[in-house]
Amino acid sequence: MDLNTKDIQLQYKGFLNTPLLWKSDTILGLAQLNLPKENSTTFNSVITKNLRLGKRVERFISHELQQYSWIEILAENIQIQNGKTTIGEIDFIIQQNSIPIHLEVVYKFYLYDETVGSSEIEHWIGPNRKDSLTQKLTKLKEKQLPLIFRPEALPLFTKLNLNIASVQQKVYFKAQLFVPFHLKNNLFPLINNECNKGFYINFKELNQFKTFKFFIPTKVNWLQEIQIQINWKNYNTILPEIENLMEQKTSPLCWVKQPNGEVYKIFIVWWK
């Protein structure tokens, strides 16, 4: 197995092991697609080396859905056009036990920042402050889910022989969450706390971790669980790399290892 294939398998396994961000329909009434845990963690499709994380996740979800005999994928990644203009994309139309479902999929990394917004949901933001959970939920509710009701989407459902009124709508929203170090044992009422994968620190706090070993995975490998058999770097070796990322206003995800062998996922942020 070459390195790229091994990494893809580990990414797929990490994706499968990532919990749904919420259970039931506790957030804005959005219902999650709940799938039983599958036994197979083998991903046997081909993925090009430069396929970015978001598109990679779409391939993983497609493969996962195919593992269930009671789910049929009717359409995926369908662009809805108004003339030559693309007005949106439908992630999946599936049939689950003969029930048609419009499914929108999301995989995100969010950090908890109490200075943003005034509610628990508003506090979750992207590592570089460019996006947020609130923005994504709003886009789902106002743009992505209503897309099937646009007249431009009607030909798709006619082709699939589906009555739009009979189509249920669900999301498949997975996330890895990171909290400030002082909140690392905190429980949050609205989200699934199993999504809490680590904590984040500001670059100025990094010197408290001088005895730790570090590894910066590539972005597509953010999906992976922490791997132990890697080329760990000490504080002095990793510091210039992190300084360079801070200057670029990029918050890296790091795997860190304590002297006692314990490992964590952390983000090092430039903005706090």
Residue of 189, 258, 172, 182 whose CA lies nearest to 26: 189
Predicted confidence at residue 195, as pLDDT, reads 97
Predicted confidence at residue 1, as pLDDT, reads 52
Distance CA 269, CA 199 (A): 11
Predicted confidence at residue 24, as pLDDT, reads 78
Predicted confidence at residue 26, as pLDDT, reads 72
Predicted confidence at residue 3, as pLDDT, reads 63
Taking 70 as the pLDDT cut, the residues of the chain under it are: 1-3
What Å distances lie between residue 92 and 29, 102, 148, 156, 221, CA to CA? 20, 6, 11, 12, 25
The residues near 143 (Cβ < 8 Å, ≥ 6 apart) are 88
Q: What is the pLDDT of residues 137-148, one digit of tens each?
A: 999 999 999 999
Q: 100 forms bridges with which residues in the sheet?
A: 95
Cα 18 to chain centroid distance, Å, stands at 8
Q: What is the pLDDT of residues 176-230, one digit of tens each?
A: 999 998 998 899 999 999 999 999 999 999 999 999 999 999 999 999 999 999 9
Predicted confidence at residue 16, as pLDDT, reads 95
Predicted confidence at residue 2, as pLDDT, reads 63
Predicted confidence at residue 51, as pLDDT, reads 92
Domain ranges of the chain: 3-197, 200-269
Predicted confidence at residue 7, as pLDDT, reads 92
